[in-house]
Amino acid sequence: MSSTRDASSNSLGKRVATYFPESRKYRKLLWLLSATTAVGAWSLYHALLQPDASRLFLGSSIVVLAAAALSTIRLWVRQTRQVHLHQFGVEYIDIVSSDVFHWEDICNVWQTPVYSDKPNNHKPQGWTVRIESNDERRLKLDRFEGSVAIARRIQNEITHRMLGSYQHAYEAGHWLRFGKKLSVSREGIKVGSKGISWYEINDVFLDEEDGVRIGYSHESTHWLHLPIRTIANFHLLSHLLAWVRSQHSIGIDEFERTVNEDRAIGLFDDKPSECDVSELSACGFEWDEIDDVISGECSVNELLERGPRQRPRVPK
């Protein structure tokens, strides 16, 4: 991997934090693979000492030893990875290579929640973070301790450096892309090839675990959902929408009901009232339950009394 800047960590300034791979579960697996490797080596040794040993026993010993040794090496290499966050960038190190990304060189950051296989675990265990630089270098960080902190720190640094230029581009009438499908401009929001003007939009929900949901009116209420894994620079999108609302560029009455940009970061702590249908998702209700309220099948108070269904949030 190469960089247009100084590729050493010295150019990144003071180290702020260091993160290591998840260790508890993989440490047990590493010990198990090491034991399997030892058993395979012992079996192969005794098979070679016995001239009358069957070819099947000899072959199976070789296969077990090779598979266990290869898996042990791969897991050991995986566990040697490190991520260093610095003042001016991020550094990734493993036993084979290292790479340096300055904050100014990073153009896109994606985050994807990783869920447990346990049925009653609704919260993600961590996040997978993908970084893309201006010179088309890419880095994937997965199965790290503190992956949420890594993602938020990188997202905040990108937002701090890019928000001003995005605001100027918005005022100039440009379409601003947040991944391959989502774009924002003074005209409204575009999802794929479908454009929705601000005056058609009723609600925009941003959830850093779920993604973006857009409610718009066209004869009847419709919803569009973009999973979080498809959205680049999620925090930048949230801050841009907050800034757009503060500008009241399309009229305060229309825009006050257009963007609820901080739903993702837990600002809706109170129970929703009868008229606050848009806040139900923050209380744990699924979208098919919220649709019952929108369609008039039940009221907000009836839904609150019934409570959200207990079911795991599993990515599709």
Those residues whose C-beta lies under 8 Å from the C-beta of residue 285, and which sit 6 or more positions away, are: 303, 308
pLDDT band at residue 294 under the 50/70/90 scheme: low
* Percent of the chain surpassing pLDDT 70: 56
Q: Stretch 68-75: mean pLDDT, rounded?
A: 64
Residue 245 confidence (pLDDT) above 60: yes
Whole-number Å distance between alpha carbons of 98 and 105: 16
Task: Name the residue among 308, 310, 309, 128 with its Cα closest to residue 228.
Answer: 128
- The residue type found at 235 is H
pLDDT band at residue 138 under the 50/70/90 scheme: very high
pLDDT of residue 267: 26
Whole-number Å distance between alpha carbons of 60 and 47: 10
CATH class belonging to 9-21+81-158: mainly beta
Question: Is the pLDDT higher at 254 or at 38?
Answer: 38
pLDDT of residue 116: 73
- 130 with 138: CB under 8 angstroms? yes
- 293 with 277: CB under 8 angstroms? yes
pLDDT band at residue 201 under the 50/70/90 scheme: confident
pLDDT of residue 236: 94
Q: Determine the straight-line distance between the first and last CA of the chain, rounded to whole angstroms.
A: 33
Rg (alpha carbons) of the chain, rounded to whole number: 25
User: What's the pTM?
Assistant: 0.64
Angle, in degrees to the nearest 10, between helices 55-79 and 24-49: 150
Helices (H), the chain: 24-49, 55-79, 147-171, 234-247, 252-256, 287-294, 300-306
Q: Looking at 144-153, 189-198, 274-283, which range is the least confident one?
A: 274-283
pLDDT of residue 257: 32
Q: Stretch 259-279: mean pLDDT, rounded?
A: 38
pLDDT of residue 314: 36
225: Cα within 13 Å, side-chain hemisphere:
10
pLDDT of residue 104: 92
**Three-state DSSP class for 294?**
helix
Those residues whose C-beta lies under 8 Å from the C-beta of residue 59, and which sit 6 or more positions away, are: none
Give exposure, 263-276, as e/b (b: 16+ Cβ within 10 Å): bbeeebeeebeeee
Q: Stretch 228-232: mean pLDDT, rounded?
A: 92
Tens of pLDDT, residue by residue over 76-98, are 666 678 888 888 999 998 877 78
Task: Name the residue among 144, 266, 168, 136 with its Cα closest to residue 210.
Answer: 266
148: Cα within 13 Å, side-chain hemisphere:
10
Whole-number Å distance between alpha carbons of 238 and 278: 17
